Structure 1
Amino acid sequence: MWRVAAIGRVGGMTDGMPRIRPLGAYEPERPQKNTSWTVHRSRTAYDGSPWLRVDMVDVTAPNSDRFEHAAIWVPDAAVALIVDEQRQAVLMLRRERWVIGQDGYELLGGLVDDGEDPVDTARRELLEESGYVPHGPSEHLLTVHPMPGLIDSAMHVFLWRQGAEQVCEPSDPYEAGTVSWIPLERVDELADGGQLLGATTAVALYRYRALP
């Protein structure tokens, strides 16, 4: 790997004067220390399939220490980011999350069923949780792993830009909350107030705002 040297960096002496590397000069990066982990074997400590599995994994860390480390498996999830770009608003669900003892705003989505295309999951969960159907084509916005050091679960976010319409009442009794269109200009306010629940909701909204 190569990197651009900083402007004005001193690189030695020439005729008694510091030699400045010009913009565009390159230098090799220093070799990195070993950063690899070795996985030896694993055992299942708890099997709550299909929703959750906890494994204890025998690993060797980069510094050669060997120990057991917990690894949690959860099915992938898909999230629908529904934006009405004409109104500059996003469809969100205000709900309570009893695990953390807090209520706030989330995007709509849920776990991907076995063999299901994540974009179909996003549409299905949107309909079940809100009764809305999106307008126009979808775009894959991003895929993230919110806690990759502990949890194996990918979150796939799909974007619809042309809004949505409500065609029925929500049908999922476990996703009770208030569905509403939130002005995009309130995203910073909600983030500052700790009202954006879940890393995926926050990352998706700020990723969308950064799009050209």
Structure 2
Amino acid sequence: MKEGKAKVFTEQELRRTLRVISKKSHAKRNTALLWCSFGLGLRAKELASLRVENVLGADDQLLEEINLSSAMTKGAKQRFVYLTNSSLTEALGSYLAERQTQEGILFNPQAALFISQKGGAFTPNTLQQLFHRLFTEAKIQGASSHSGRRTFATTLIEKGADIKAVSRLMGHSSISMTAQYVEDNPLRLKEICRKLF
């Protein structure tokens, strides 16, 4: 699917996907992955690049901000994303607690944040395949690993965030690029016109 054209989820579709994931193997990891995609607007490459040290401080507490270095992002542009949404931090904390219990050791700060079934880091491609499988199991048509990113941008705009702030969170060099990610909602457009005068 062409980038920027992936399906934008409704809240109901996101909840349905989370419900389906919760009943499958690797539920906590996949829930955390989904929240990082939809709650931070991260690309598959960025998710695959995340290390434990990007989200956990020296005190093993979740950081409030993730520094995505230029090596981790498309276009080699450093940016920050924020671990401030409670659903996101709860999912990530739950996954990390499960992983620490299973591994029985303190985390290696350089270890991949998300571990595949084989015990290694995901590649961007294997993450894209995982998202495709999860969305297929949830019976969501037209979704891809980029759906979280598009949903993130669209939801922020619908909730009143200014496009400049959304552009910065997305790591775009121009507001016009961000505008391409945002899907117009006819109900929202009608409401905007209704409140014109």
Q: How would you bin the TM-score normalised by the shorter chain?
A: under 0.3
State the TM-score, normalizing by the size of structure 2. 0.24
State the TM-score, normalizing by the size of structure 1. 0.23
Decide which structure has greater strand share.
1
User: Which protein, 1 or 2, shows the higher relative CO under an 8 Å CA cutoff with sep ≥ 6?
Assistant: 2
